[in-house]
Amino acid sequence: MRLLRIWPDETRFRFMRFRHLSFPFSALLSILTVAGFLTLGLDYGVDFRGGTLIELEAKSGPADAGAVRTTANGFGFGDVEVQDFGGSGGQAGGVSLRFPIQPGGEAAQGVVVDKARAAFGERYTFQRVETVGPRVSGELVQSGTIGIILSVFAVLAYLWFRFERDLAIASIIGTLHDIVLTVGFFVITRHEFNMTSIAAILTIVGYSLNETVVVFDRTRELLRRYKQMPTEELLDLSINSTMSRTVMTATTTALSLLALVLFGGRAIEGFAQVMLAGVVICTYSAIFISSPMLIYIGLKAGNQRGAARDVPVAQPAE
Task: Report d(CA 280, CA 7) in Å as an integer.
Answer: 18
* Per-residue pLDDT, 141: 72
* Per-residue pLDDT, 315: 46
Residues 6+ apart with CB under 8 A from 284: 22
3-state secondary structure of 85: strand
* Per-residue pLDDT, 312: 42
Residue of 239, 220, 244 lying closest to 303 (CA atoms):
220
Task: Report d(CA 178, CA 207) in Å as an integer.
Answer: 10
Identity at 75, one-letter amino acid code: F
Distance of CA 317 to the CA centre of its chain: 26
Residue positions counted in the chain: 318
pLDDT in tens, 51-93: 888 888 888 878 888 888 888 888 888 878 888 776 544 455 7
Task: Report d(CA 84, CA 168) in Å as an integer.
Answer: 45
Task: Report d(CA 168, CA 161) in Å as an integer.
Answer: 8
* Protein fold of 16-43+137-303: Multidrug efflux transporter AcrB transmembrane fold (1.20.1640)
Q: Where are the domains of the chain?
A: 16-43+137-303, 51-132
* Protein fold of 51-132: Alpha-Beta Plaits (3.30.70)
3-state secondary structure of 128: strand
Residue 108's Cβ-count burial label (10 Å; 0-12, 13-18, 19+) is: middle
* Per-residue pLDDT, 5: 64
Residues 6+ apart with CB under 8 A from 22: 284, 288, 289, 292
Distance of CA 64 to the CA centre of its chain: 32
pTM higher than 0.85 for the full model? Answer: no
Residue of 153, 141, 146, 177 lying closest to 46 (CA atoms):
141
Q: Which residues of the chain have pLDDT under 50?
A: 1, 88-90, 305-318
* Per-residue pLDDT, 8: 65
Residues 184 and 273 sit within 8 Å (Cβ to Cβ): no
Q: Identical fold at 16-43+137-303 and 51-132?
A: no
Distances (CA, A) of 55 to 7, 31, 82, 122, 126: 46, 34, 10, 14, 6
